[in-house]
Structure 1
Amino acid sequence: MKKARNEVTQPQDAGERRRIPPVICYPVDTLPRPDLVAYQTAREGWRKVDEVVVPPREARCFSVPAGFFFRIVSIEGPQVGDLNLWAAQDLDERFFSGKTRALHGTHLSTGDQLWSCLPYLRPMATITYDTLDWYGFDEFGGSVHDVIGTRCDPYTHKLLSGHEYHHCCHSNLTRALADRVGRPREAVEVAVHDVLNVFMCTGFTRDTGQYFMKASPVRPGDYLEFFAEIDLLGALSACPGGDCSSEHSSDAAACHPLLVEIYEPKAAPAGWTSPPRNGYSRRHGD
């Protein structure tokens, strides 16, 4: 179904206007890039120091010190996960999906970084390995690990269905964060933010521009691996949509647990230092 549009007459130069070539909003030629060879070398001889199992339709928090690696792993069946990240000592500094999308594109993979919100704006984590990197973009324009969606939430569910559902990813992340920091859910809910949709296969329809999802290609043994650039507090929700092949925010989909593994390298990557917060003066003009 196409969106309703106003009845307007095309100008004579409509085709010419459409043919104007696009310009990349944020050229990244001067953006400092991670040394992936150094990161991959640092993985040699690492040891797993912790793991967290995220039950279906629930979320769990985990901590990753700067300089450590962590993986999100599919362990039983196709399942997508919604990831939130915060600076470990400051919940005000959180993952900024919009700026990450502007810098790296709609879907992330190896070498892309997860950036924190303003006024901090620094890399929080770097993707160092992606077993689904082979997928690319399919014929529908879909790809995996998106930063274009938000997270399923009970407010939109109530708006569209009239019903209350408490295991949306937003609620799952809220409960997990409240339990971790020992504060009321209402107090920490505002810290829950737009996510990296791990393993989720999404895109925009070409005719209406609507956000779509389709069955995730993830299978047991697949993982998305990160290097923690700063001390991190993370939260991962095993989405109630399962592999998101049909619907989310309900108990209808087949859901599976996810595993978070945390690894300590023998030594930090050669030449690596944890990035400072953004150096902008915050004067905002005179």
Structure 2
Amino acid sequence: MSKMPAAYQATRGSILDVDRAFYDSLTVAQTERRLVTTHTVPMRDGLAWEVPAGHVFRIKIIEGAQVGDFNLWSLHNPRERLWASRTRQLQSAHVSTYDRLWSSLPYLRPMVTIIDDSLADYGVDDDGGRVHDLLGTRCDPYVNTLLTGEDFDFHCHSNLVRAIEPWGLTEFDVHDVLNIFQCTGLNEDDQYFMKACPARKGDYLEFFAEIDLLCALSCCPGGDLSVDLWGPNARDPLETCHPLGVEVYAVDDDLLSGWTSPQPAPYRGRHGRRGPESDWSAIKRQRCC
């Protein structure tokens, strides 16, 4: 394993320098909460839901092992959405407690901060696998047709498309995902691999909403990924599929004293243009909140 330092490093006091004490104070171990709403994401289906800024939400295993493909957007401006590749660079390819999920340009701000993870101690297994990855993306019917020659509608991409339609969003708004509870890595040929999900009933990943959010989650039709989806040993993994649970909590207002929702990146947006200063910063502020 290379000992090269990370290319993107936090400086003290920057937005990358996470206040761990603050986020620790929001976990269920440290404070009482008020349950606002619960959702069940049906097996092999998708669901979208809203989370106000300053709230906590938990995605959890409620029956058996199951991976979930997660998207999120600014509730008020869906052009601002999760940027998986930049999050990989600023945080890591597999995320856990204190990591943040960052939004797309020109906003580039934390959308959520992970505050608790029951699988945080999983670490790196003997195959080099880790959980909660940003390496891969959602399964989709397009690649399935390329690999098998057959159309099959119910992939994570399709689940997410259906989930967000009530909010006026379309297939073009679905984007690269966080694969929650999924165990993945790169093999010796630098190729992406997936292996059986290690999560069990009661396991969870928990987030603090830094801005008002629209979230969407697909219960992957691959279930716990213990069955090959493509290749010579492929078969229908239906028996490995389960629903997922979502809980949204309000925390004590006193705990949020001093916290403010992060603003978009302060770059003025001139991009080397000459002439009068761009008014993009004002436009960006107007659209983001």
CA separation in 2, counterparts of 1:211 and 1:166?
Answer: 23
- Asked whether the 8 Å contact 1:240–1:248 carries over to 2, the reply is no
Which residue matches 2:207? 226
Closer/same/farther in 2, CA of residues 283 and 21 from structure 1, 3 Å limit: same
Which residue matches 2:248? 262
1:141 aligns with 2:128: yes
Which residue matches 1:280? 267
1:75 aligns with 2:62: yes
Please show how residues 16-95 of structure 1 align to structure 2 within 5 Å: 22-30=4-12, 31-32=14-15, 33-43=17-27, 44-95=31-82
- Matching residue's letter, 2:23: Y
- Matching residue's letter, 1:51: T
Which residue matches 2:222? 241
Consecutive unaligned residues in structure 2, runs of 5 or more:
274-289
1:96 aligns with 2:78: no
Which residue matches 1:189? 171
> How much is the aligned-residue C-alpha RMSD, in angstroms?
1.7
Cα deviation code 1:231-282 (max 9, x no counterpart): 0000000001111122348743420000010000011434211001111111
**Once the two structures are aligned, what percentage of the paired residues are identical?**
51
- Asked whether the 8 Å contact 2:138–2:176 carries over to 1, the reply is yes
CA separation in 2, counterparts of 1:232 and 1:52?
Answer: 15
Closer/same/farther in 2, CA of residues 279 and 243 from structure 1, 3 Å limit: same
Please show how residues 131-170 of structure 1 align to structure 2 within 5 Å: 131-170=118-157
SS of residue in 2 equivalent to 1:42: coil
Closer/same/farther in 2, CA of residues 248 and 92 from structure 1, 3 Å limit: farther
CA separation in 1, counterparts of 2:86 and 2:42?
Answer: 30
- Asked whether the 8 Å contact 1:173–1:192 carries over to 2, the reply is yes
- Asked whether the 8 Å contact 1:216–1:245 carries over to 2, the reply is yes
- Asked whether the 8 Å contact 2:113–2:209 carries over to 1, the reply is yes
Which residue matches 1:216? 197
Of stretches 26-35 and 218-227 in structure 1, the one that deviates more from structure 2 is 26-35
TM-score calculated relative to the size of structure 1:
0.87
- Asked whether the 8 Å contact 1:60–1:235 carries over to 2, the reply is yes
Which residue matches 1:3? none
CA separation in 1, counterparts of 2:84 and 2:20?
Answer: 22
Consecutive unaligned residues in structure 1, runs of 5 or more:
1-19
Closer/same/farther in 2, CA of residues 134 and 159 from structure 1, 3 Å limit: same
Of stretches 241-250 and 272-281 in structure 1, the one that deviates more from structure 2 is 241-250
1:199 aligns with 2:185: no
Cα deviation code 1:38-88 (max 9, x no counterpart): 233234121110011000110000110000000000000000000000000
CA separation in 1, counterparts of 2:140 and 2:160?
Answer: 10
Which residue matches 2:237? 252
CA separation in 2, counterparts of 1:38 and 1:22?
Answer: 30
TM-score calculated relative to the size of structure 2:
0.86
